[in-house]
């Protein structure tokens, strides 16, 4: 086992599966099985999910909405996604806790760092909802921030692409994938790993990031066992 405690970041869009909007329950169930396997192997798993499949503040602003209002709506979207994943994980028999950066005591616990760590130590899968709780941030930043707070060994960014490429592999056919990169190399090459706030937080705190394809069954397990099947960004 390579890592003891990991933070998995999933985008909201990843929950859509083949749908155009919202949540594909089969996709969520597949993620839940993968996450269960990793948790059962003894790795402590914390998760941050985005909300882009439901609502994005920046896009709503372009349509004339107040940005702060729209961002809070985006944060609520992440709680909806978190609840869907929590349900799917509990269907597999796992113990979970959803901790939100915005208080919603009827449906989740408030985010309290020490409590989050305690849950992980007890083997519960912890989901962090509502991003950072602040507008103008992203769930990538929430993932980096929470990972640092809980002293995770690594941020695992699960995407539908199997790593970081010289160009977008879905557009440029001969794009080449990197196995590993330093933060400085990624920055100098202008590669998009996470947004700059999230990326800088990781760099300053020497928190490694691995970008990998979460849609392939078993990949999450391989990564946590130390197999390099994505791109590692490190100090």
Which residues are near ligand UDP by CB under 6 A? 11-13, 50-52, 56-58, 70-71, 74-75, 77-78, 131-132, 134-135, 137-142
The nearer residue to ligand UDP, 75 or 181, going by C-beta atoms, is: 75
Binding site annotation covers 133? yes
What's the DSSP call for residue 153? S
224 and 3 Cβ atoms separated by less than 8 Å: yes
Q: From the CB of 95, what's the least distance to ligand UDP, in Å?
A: 25
Strand arrangement of the beta sheet that strand 180-182 belongs to: 109-110, 96-100, 125-129, 44-49, 5-10, 154-159, 209-213, 231-234, 180-182
Binding site annotation covers 197? no
The nearer residue to ligand UDP, 89 or 142, going by C-beta atoms, is: 142
Buried b (16+ CB within 10 A) or exposed e, 78-111: bbbbbbbbbebbeebebebbbbbbbebeeebbeb
Binding site annotation covers 208? no
Binding site annotation covers 55? no
The nearer residue to ligand UDP, 16 or 186, going by C-beta atoms, is: 16
The nearer residue to ligand UDP, 100 or 203, going by C-beta atoms, is: 100
Among candidates 96, 101, 120, which has minimal Cα distance to 111?
101
Q: From the CB of 70, what's the least distance to ligand UDP, in Å?
A: 6
Q: From the CB of 76, what's the least distance to ligand UDP, in Å?
A: 8
Helix (H, G, I), strand (E, B) or coil at 45: strand
Q: From the CB of 121, what's the least distance to ligand UDP, in Å?
A: 25
Binding site annotation covers 137? yes
Helix (H, G, I), strand (E, B) or coil at 184: helix
8 and 220 Cβ atoms separated by less than 8 Å: yes
Numbered residues of the known binding site for UMP? 51, 71, 132-139
Numbered residues of the known binding site for ATP? 9-12, 52, 56, 159, 165, 168
């Amino acid at each position: 086992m390579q890592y003891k405690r990991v933070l998995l970041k999933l985008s909201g869009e990843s929950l859509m599966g083949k749908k155009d909007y919202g949540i594909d329950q089969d996709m969520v169930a597949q993620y839940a099985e993968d996450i269960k396997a990793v948790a059962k192997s003894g790795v402590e798993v914390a998760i941050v999910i985005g909300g882009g499949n439901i609502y994005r503040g920046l896009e709503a602003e372009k349509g004339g909405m107040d940005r702060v209002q729209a961002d809070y709506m985006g944060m609520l979207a992440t709680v909806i996604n978190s609840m869907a994943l929590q349900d799917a994980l509990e269907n597999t028999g796992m113990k979970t806790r959803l901790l939100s950066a915005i208080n919603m005591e009827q449906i989740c616990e408030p985010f309290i760092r020490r409590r989050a760590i305690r849950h992980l130590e007890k083997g519960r899968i912890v989901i962090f909802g509502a991003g950072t709780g602040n507008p103008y941030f992203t769930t990538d930043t929430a993932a980096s921030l929470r990972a640092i707070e809980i002293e995770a060994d690594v941020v695992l960014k699960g995407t539908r692409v199997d790593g970081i490429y010289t160009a977008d592999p879905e557009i440029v056919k001969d794009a080449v994938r990197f196995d590993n990169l330093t933060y400085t190399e990624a920055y100098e090459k202008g590669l998009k790993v996470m947004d700059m706030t999230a990326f800088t937080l990781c760099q300053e705190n020497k928190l490694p990031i691995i970008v990998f394809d979460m849609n392939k069954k078993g990949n999450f397990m391989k990564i946590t066992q130390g197999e390099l099947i994505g791109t590692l960004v490190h100090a």
